[in-house]
Structures are given as structure tokens and as C-alpha cells.
Amino acid sequence: MNNTEVQEKKSIPNFKIDLVNKRHQNGSLIPLLQTAQDSYGYIPEKIIYYISELVGIPAAEIYGVITFYSQFRLKPLGKNLIRICEGTACHVNGAKSILTALQDELGITVGETTDDGIFSLQSVACLGCCSLAPVVMINDATHGNLTMDKIKKILKKYKTEEKIRIAS
């Protein structure tokens, strides 16, 4: 997710070129997986086999690397990515009640995506703006100094926007 903010989204043909270019570099597996995730939003199974053939690492080993790192996903993300900070400053400033509110509103827990594919919920450690704790990031926007009511209002806004979009 974060990478996409930095490197512009790559198209799939470009992705394949990128893969071929990177395969001979030392230690290229993780960057390859990061590129794959940037292109597809997650790492599809067929890509694991594709990469395996390309770099000559068994698919099982690649799978082991994917599951070791929390950055990698084997399933696509929802349209809006909600990241709740569970860093220490946010924890002592009440992140738990914000999480409860999010879970109540969305009906999912951390690591899940809503059935309609509109929201995904993830937790992260320190977003770097502890002075605004507790903090939630929705897509690229940071929301700080949250209370249970404030986060519910913010979610409502996103939900309404989504409804308007579907209606039009």
C-alpha cells in the first residue's frame, strides 16, 4: 500500500518487465513480491508460480517468505484501507476504544475486509504523529485526536460518499 504512494502504480506488462530486470539482482525476491503487490494490490497465486520459475526458488519457499512479512497479502484489499495505529502513544491514549468503535461500525476485525469490499481494516505501529494520538489513517488521510464518536462520524462520511458513488 505504502509503496504505491511512492512509486506510481505499475501496469501489468511493466510489472513483468520489472520482474525480469530484477531477477538477477542479489536478494531480489522481496522487491519482486513488493512489485507484484503494487501491481495487483495483493499477490495472486499464479504470480507465486511465475516468480518461482523466473528466479528458481521453490514456490513453497516463496510462500514462506510471503507469510513471514506482514506487508504481503494473499487476498485483495477493500476499496478504502483503514489503518489504526496501535503504537504505544496511541495505546495509552485510548486506541483500544477507537478499535472497538471501528469493529462495531464495520463488523470486521483487524486483517479483514467487509463483504461488500468497501473497507479493509489493518493495524500498524506508530504512524509518526504521536502528538495527535490516537490516530487512524484512512487511505492517505490522517485523522487524529480521535474519540469514539469522532471516528464514527468520519466513517459515516466515507459510507455516504460510497453510496452516492454507487447511486450515480
Partner 1 sequence: MKKIKVGLGTCGISAGGELVFNKLKEEIKTKNLGIEVNETGCMGMCYEEALVEVVDDNDSFLYSNVTVDKVGRIVNEHLINNKPVIEWIIKSNEVSKEDDFLKNQKRIVLRNCGVIDPTSIDEYIEHNGYKALEKVLKNFSQQEVIDMIIKSGLRGRGGAGFTTGMKWKFANQEKSEKKYIVCNADEGDPGAFMDRSVLEGDPHSVLEGMMIAAYAIGSDEAYIYCRAEYPLAIKRLRTAIKQCESRGYLGKNILGSNFNFTIKIKEGAGAFVCGEETALMASVEGKRGVPRLRPPFPANKGLWGKPTNINNVETFANVPWIINNGWEKYSSLGTEKSKGTKVFALAGKIKRSGLAEVPMGMTINEIVFDLGGGIKNDKKFKAVQMGGPSGGCIPASMGDLKIDYDEIVRTGAIMGSGGLIVLDETTCMVDLARYFLNFTQNESCGKCTFCRVGTKRMLEILERITIGKGKENDVDILQDLASKITKNSLCGLGQSAPNPVLTTIKYFREEYEAHIRDKKCPAHNCSALIEYTIDEVNCKGCGLCIKACSSNAITGSKKAVHYINQELCIKCGRCFDVCNLDAVIKN
Which residue has the CB atom at the shortest distance from ligand FES? 87
Contact (Cβ atoms closer than 8 angstroms) between residue 130 and residue 87: yes
Q: Cα–chain-centroid distance for residue 9?
A: 14
Query: Closest approach of Cβ 88 to partner 1, in Å?
Result: 3
Interacting residues toward partner 1 by CB under 8 A: 2-3, 5-6, 26-31, 33-34, 64-65, 68-72, 86-89, 91-93, 97, 100, 104, 124-133, 135, 142, 144, 147-149
| Secondary structure (3-state) at 136 | strand
Query: Closest approach of Cβ 68 to ligand FES, in Å?
Result: 24
Interacting residues toward ligand FES by CB under 6 A: 85, 87-90, 126-130, 133, 135
Cβ-based nearer residue to partner 1, 77 or 166? 77
Cβ-based nearer residue to partner 1, 84 or 168? 84
Please, what's the b/e burial string for 17-48 (b: 16 or more CB within 10 A of its CB; e: otherwise)? Answer: ebbeebeeeeebbeebbbbbbbbbeebbeebb
Query: Closest approach of Cβ 18 to partner 1, in Å?
Result: 14
Cβ-based nearer residue to ligand FES, 55 or 129? 129
**End-to-end distance of the chain based on CA atoms, in angstroms?**
28
For residue 108, list its beta bridge partners: none
Contact (Cβ atoms closer than 8 angstroms) between residue 111 and residue 74: no
Query: Closest approach of Cβ 140 to ligand FES, in Å?
Result: 15
Cβ-based nearer residue to partner 1, 24 or 165? 24
Residue closest to 110 by CA, chosen among 94, 125, 92, 129? 125
Query: Closest approach of Cβ 57 to partner 1, in Å?
Result: 8
Cβ-based nearer residue to partner 1, 44 or 144? 144
Backbone angles phi, psi at 124, to 5 degrees: -135, 160
